[in-house]
């Protein structure tokens, strides 16, 4: 396999990546908001507990989204036939970015918890 130029297919791959990463963030964040509305944590310990509950419940759906994306891209990445010269460059940034998007599962709850802790301290 030779050098890969930044063609339109590569940019389509980036667009797919951004959509999937956003979807994972929405899955996690929307449930965080739901848990915080239901539990209404008042102190930092309750905020952290609600964050752990919400994060734990959304790991599986987020990982399933990531797994299905990776499984869908494997045939594209391993293709050698006709049209693969356009499809493989599209799949490379999507797969590489999806592996980094796994961090979303940890970063979104951490940032949400931090913001809620700051709000809690300011409102006192």
When pLDDT is cut at 50, 70 and 90, the band that residue 85 belongs to is: confident
Tell me the average pLDDT across 56-80.
88
What's the CA gap between 105 and 107, in Å, rounded?
Answer: 6
The number of domains in the chain is 1
Q: Over the chain, what is the mean pLDDT?
A: 86
Q: Is residue 70 part of a domain?
A: yes
CATH at 114: 1.20.1640.10
Q: Is residue 2 part of a domain?
A: no
Predicted structure pTM score: 0.76
pLDDT for 99:
80
The top-scoring range by mean pLDDT among 14-28, 65-79, 85-99, 106-120 is 106-120
Q: Is residue 20 part of a domain?
A: yes
pLDDT for 53:
93
Tell me the average pLDDT across 73-82.
86
Q: Is residue 1 part of a domain?
A: no
Query: Domain containing 51: what range?
Result: 8-123
**Of 42-46, 93-97, 112-116, minimum mean pLDDT range:** 93-97
């Amino acid at each position: 396999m030779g050098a890969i130029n930044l063609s339109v297919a590569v940019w389509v791959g980036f667009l797919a990546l951004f959509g999937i990463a956003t979807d994972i963030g929405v899955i996690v964040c929307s449930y965080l908001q739901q848990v915080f509305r239901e539990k209404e944590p008042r102190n930092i310990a309750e905020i952290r507990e609600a964050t752990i509950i919400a994060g734990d419940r959304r790991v599986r759906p987020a990982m399933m989204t990531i797994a299905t994306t990776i499984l869908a891209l494997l045939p594209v990445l391993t293709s050698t036939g006709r049209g693969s010269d356009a499809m493989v460059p599209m799949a490379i940034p999507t797969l590489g970015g999806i592996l980094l998007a796994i961090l979303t599962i940890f970063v979104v709850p951490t940032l949400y918890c931090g913001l809620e802790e700051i709000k809690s301290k300011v409102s006192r």
